[in-house]
Structure 1
Amino acid sequence: MSETNQVVDVRARIEAEFQSAGVTGFLHVVDMDTGREIAAGADEPVVLASVFKVPLLVAFHRQAADGLLDPAEQVTLRPDDRTAGPTGVSALLDDVRMSLRDLTCLMITVSDNAAADLVLDRVGLDAVNATAAALGLRDTVIEVDGRGLHESLLTDAGVSDFAEVWARLDDPAVRARLRALDPLRTSRSTPRDMTRLLSMIWRDEAAPPDGCAAMRRLFGLQVWPHRLSSGFPYDDVVVSGKTGTLPTVRNEVGAVEYPDGGRYAVAVFTRSLLPIAVLPQADAVIGTAARLAVESLRRP
């Protein structure tokens, strides 16, 4: 089979997997060293959700390298003024004091919203977007922090509690009002932009080498095994990533590294057709689609 036919075949298989899982999927997978790629909707605008924390992390390390912030600076997060969320500092009841760099660890490894918003306050929204532009991410724009994202969901759905948002998703009029689910009205990117950014992190191009090494370490510590990692259940394959989740939105971007030195940047963004919070097949298809693409790129 020619390489062109092979790419067409694997793209069809990936799209069939998305359809079987009940999602609309957008994917880009690239060999970081050769540039060979598998693309399925790779240039379509997608909702970032918590994947916005990846360009934020890059901007943080670039500012640290330039002496614009001190990663070891100690900050205090108080319960009354920190962003809500189900993980990390967001879920705690008392004052928490830690360094900025430890907050970046929580915002990546457990997707802590409170940690991310404090880091974003220090770095600056404009600085994150300027960093994205400087790195050639033409379709990546961060519009809002975690608090703003959460508040927009409540406001647009006309509810007072996040759990109630799910209950109203059956109404097409409500879904249409939710800015957080519209890539033209919220923080957005494309799968191709995200694999470009990940490749630059892995090649020590997104920031100085020590900063890129620190970022790779955090992505490797992410705790969620049910999306990208599920497609590579091998002891000798290293999977690093960052998820993003909103009602009907399930994403993950990351890197897959093989013992022979092969390394692949992966970005998979999905929207489920069913407004159901627990949808295992929609999570698992992220790993399945990534595996199909990576295995295709590893064939001679």
Structure 2
Amino acid sequence: MARIREAFADAGVTGLLHARDIDTGAELGLGADALMSTASVHKLCLVSTVFREAARGRIDLTRQVEVPAEQRTKGPTGLAAMLDPARLSLRDLAAQSIAVSDNTAADVLWDRVGLDAVNRTMAELGLRNTRAVHTMRDLYASMTADAGAAGVAALVEPATLARLRVLDPAHTNHSTARDLTALLAAVWRDEVCAGEHGRLLRRVLGLQAWSHRLASGFPFDDVRVSGKTGTLPTLRHEAGVVEYPDGGRYAVAVLTRSASTAITLPAADAVIGTAARIAVDALRAGAR
């Protein structure tokens, strides 16, 4: 843990971490049970619920949904950034939600399954510290309201950040590092949904385009990293699964908050991969 603490300190962040061997249950953590605002990491909970509901016959993943141009949630990627009407299946909306963290795609899914279903799924899986309280559109509405008249420009001001409810786990979607690795382990063990639905869910979780956080710690062609990032002012997170060619499978969640309010902090992104690698190496060493 000392090396992980030092890495966080060198990157100018405070961090929470949990890592677990999916097959043996061996684990290690740092602040693993502290609540943290999840930002877009909560899309893991959403998409897992979508596939679980489909496995139970409650929704059809191939159902096509119209997404009008005027019904777009704020965001820099995917449908959120597009200008024209679109039509996608629920499973393709799930893929968009994970691959490029598409807020509009996620909100179509939130509207389809509902907050209660996502929270019920997390409770059924035993994740008592994980809860969704709003959709992505409501998250952004809250942030806009709290930022005040100065708008986005104020999001680098400490006084503004202090009043953002989306940074306070008591008022926004939240979880813990331990709960997030438990969710991922359940997905990889077919406990969220089995068979074809489980395989498709893992495929979706492997589509993320970003490689500057968790994946940066595992720069090997034969190591597969699946995950979901989350970002809000001062917050940079990722939770995912690292799979080695020898069959080792490790769920890791790294949740960070930076001392700096700068939007671009490469060291804060990179330390997520560094901390995850230290943790996974320790688990692998302990298994030998």
| Alignment partner, residue 115 of structure 1 | 105
Alignment equivalent of 2:238, drawn from 252, 257, 273: 252
List gaps (5 residues or longer) in structure 1.
1-10
Partner of 2:37: 47
Q: Is 1:291 the counterpart of 2:284 in the alignment?
A: no
SS, match of residue 62 in structure 1: helix
Does 2:251 correspond to 1:265? Answer: yes
Q: Report if aligned partners of 2:146, 2:165 keep a CA contact under 8 Å in 1.
A: yes
- Matched residue SS, 1:80: coil
Are 1:68 and 2:58 counterparts?
Answer: yes
1:140 to 114, 120, 130: 130
1:21 aligns with 2:11: yes
- Structure 1 letter corresponding to 2:158: D
1:52-76 CA distance string (max 9 Å, x none)? 1111111111111122111111111
Q: Deviations over 1:97-151 (max 9, x none)?
A: 1111110000011000000000010011101000000000010000111000111
Shift of 1:209: 2.4
Partner secondary structure for residue 33 of structure 2: coil
Alignment-derived partner of residue 170 in structure 1:
158
Please provide the CA RMSD for this pair. Answer: 1.0
AA of the residue aligned to 2:115: L
| Separation of aligned partners in 2, 1:28 and 1:166 | 29
- Residue 108 of structure 2 aligns with an amino acid whose one-letter code is L
SS of equivalent residue, structure 2 residue 162: helix
Deviation of the 1:240 alpha carbon: 0.7
Offset at 1:160? 6.4
User: What CA distance in whole angstroms lies between the structure 2 residues aligned with 1:170 and 1:241?
Assistant: 30
Q: Deviations over 1:217-259 (max 9, x none)?
A: 1121110010000000011111111000111110000000111
Task: State the identity %.
Answer: 55
Give runs of aligned pairs for residues 175-186 of structure 1, distance below 5 A: 175-186=161-172
Tell whether the 8 Å contact from 1:154 to 1:165 is kept in structure 2 after alignment: no
Distance in 1 of aligned mates of 2:173 and 2:211: 25
Q: Paired residue for 1:219? A: 205
Within the candidate set 81, 87, 92, 1:97 is matched to 87
Q: Is the 8 A contact 1:139 1:193 kept in 2?
A: yes
Q: CA deviation at 1:170?
A: 2.8
Matched, 1:34 2:20: no
Corresponding position: 1:282 with 2:278: no
Q: Residue by residue, what CA displacement relative to the aligned partner does 1:170-225 show, whole Å, maximum 9, x if unpaired?
A: 32xx2221100011111000000000000010011111222221111112111001
CA contact (8 A) 1:166 1:277 kept: no
Give the structure-1-normalised TM-score: 0.93
Instruction: Determine helix, strand or coil for the equivalent of 1:193.
Output: helix
Q: 1:160 to 1:74 in 2, by over 3 A?
A: farther
1:287, distance to aligned residue in structure 2 (A): 0.1
TM-score normalised over the length of structure 2: 0.97
Residue 26 of structure 1 contacts residue 270 of structure 1 at CA under 8 Å; is this kept in 2? yes
Whole-angstrom CA distance in 2 between matches of 1:160 and 1:205: 46
Offset of 1:296 from its aligned partner?
A: 0.7
Distance of 1:57 and 1:244 partners within structure 2: 14
Q: d(CA) in 2 for partners of 1:95 and 1:209?
A: 34
Instruction: Please give the alpha-carbon distance, in whole angstroms, between the structure 2 residues aligned to 1:268 and 1:177.
Output: 24
Q: Counterpart of 2:118?
A: 128
Deviation of the 1:27 alpha carbon: 0.1
2:155/2:161 contact within 8 Å kept: no
Alignment partners' CA distance in 1, 2:94 and 2:150: 29
In the alignment, structure 2 segments of 5+ residues that lack a partner are none
Q: How many residues end up aligned between the 2 structures?
A: 286
Relative to structure 1, the CA distance from residue 160 to residue 144 in structure 2 (aligned partners, 3 Å threshold; closer, same or farther) is: farther
